[in-house]
């Protein structure tokens, strides 16, 4: 395909051009329909390593000569990659590749594109309501919940009080995320048609995660799938 040839010629493994990483991410998000999620999962590992090789996992404040504008753009790209990694792990991998201990990059500022300027000297000011970045921040919140559920897997599959405590904690965090997103939408002065869709999608994904946490059978099947994938990967390496 033309996209694959262009990315190859751009040198995804060698270049430090962020546009190449952006193009690779967009390509991988659509490649699953053509090559399957296993292939996309493996290729996403290359993207993550390429992003880390240019320091996307480190916040822009760590680079004194970096402009505020570039630092903000790097945050947006890095967290898109993090959220993509979390989504891929739900489809195929037993766990996420990017852990919180691997990064210190701040999440993108909740502002509109018009608030940014290539020559700005200060950090952009975060807005209260819904912005061009709000959906990205919603996906970051979903990623945090996904990481929490994965880390609580053994407790959620247990019985008795340990399971109930883990379930209450997970459901509480899901409801907190729902209320947080609600404030983003309600406090927006300018209503956009896409807000209703994003609000619906975010709540649908929260409901899906809530069902997995509440229903032990569903969660057991989900966890079992992750375990089977792990065994399949290990057996293929022997």
Range of the domain at 23: 1-95+110-127
- Report the sign of the C-alpha dihedral through residues 211, 94, 27, 105, in that order: positive
Q: Are 52 and 169 within one domain?
A: no
Q: How far apart are CA 168 and CA 163, in angstroms?
A: 9
Residue 20 lies in a domain: yes
Residue 145 shares a structural domain with residue 230: yes
**Residues present in the chain in total:** 238
Q: For the chain, what is the domain count?
A: 2
Residues of the chain with pLDDT > 90, as a percent, come to 30
Do both 150 and 117 map to the same domain? no
> Same domain for 116 and 157?
no
- How many Cα atoms sit within 13 Å of 160 on the Cβ side? 1
pTM: 0.82
**Same domain, yes or no, for 114 and 151?**
no
Q: How far is residue 55's CA from residue 49's CA, in Å, rounded to a whole number?
A: 10
Which range has the worst mean pLDDT, 77-81, 171-175, 224-228? 224-228
Summarised one tens digit per residue, pLDDT across range 131-181 is 889 889 999 999 999 888 888 877 887 888 998 999 999 999 999 999 988
User: Residues 185, 121: one domain?
Assistant: no
Looking at the structure, tell me whether residues 63 and 146 fall in a common domain: no
């Amino acid at each position: 395909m033309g996209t694959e040839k262009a990315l190859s010629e751009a040198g995804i493994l060698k270049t430090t051009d962020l546009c190449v990483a952006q193009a690779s991410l967009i390509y991988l998000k659509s490649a699953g329909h053509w090559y399957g999620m296993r292939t996309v999962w493996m290729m996403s590992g290359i993207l993550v390593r390429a992003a880390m090789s240019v320091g996307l996992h480190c916040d822009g404040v760590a680079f004194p000569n970096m402009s505020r504008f570039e630092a903000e753009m790097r945050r947006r790209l890095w967290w898109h990659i993090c959220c993509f990694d979390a989504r891929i792990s739900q489809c195929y991998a037993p766990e996420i590749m990017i852990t919180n201990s691997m990064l210190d990059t701040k999440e993108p500022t909740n502002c509109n594109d018009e608030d940014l300027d290539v020559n700005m000297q200060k950090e952009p000011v975060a807005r209260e309501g819904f912005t061009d970045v709000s959906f990205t921040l919603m996906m970051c919140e979903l990623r945090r919940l996904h990481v929490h559920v994965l880390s609580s897997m053994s407790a959620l599959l247990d019985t008795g009080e340990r399971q109930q405590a883990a379930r209450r904690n997970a459901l509480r965090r899901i409801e907190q995320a729902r209320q947080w997103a609600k404030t983003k939408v309600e406090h927006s002065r300018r209503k956009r048609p896409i807000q209703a869709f994003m609000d619906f999608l975010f709540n649908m994904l929260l409901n899906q995660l809530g069902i997995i946490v509440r229903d032990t059978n569903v969660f057991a099947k989900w966890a079992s799938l992750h375990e089977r994938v792990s065994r399949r990967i290990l057996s293929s390496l022997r």
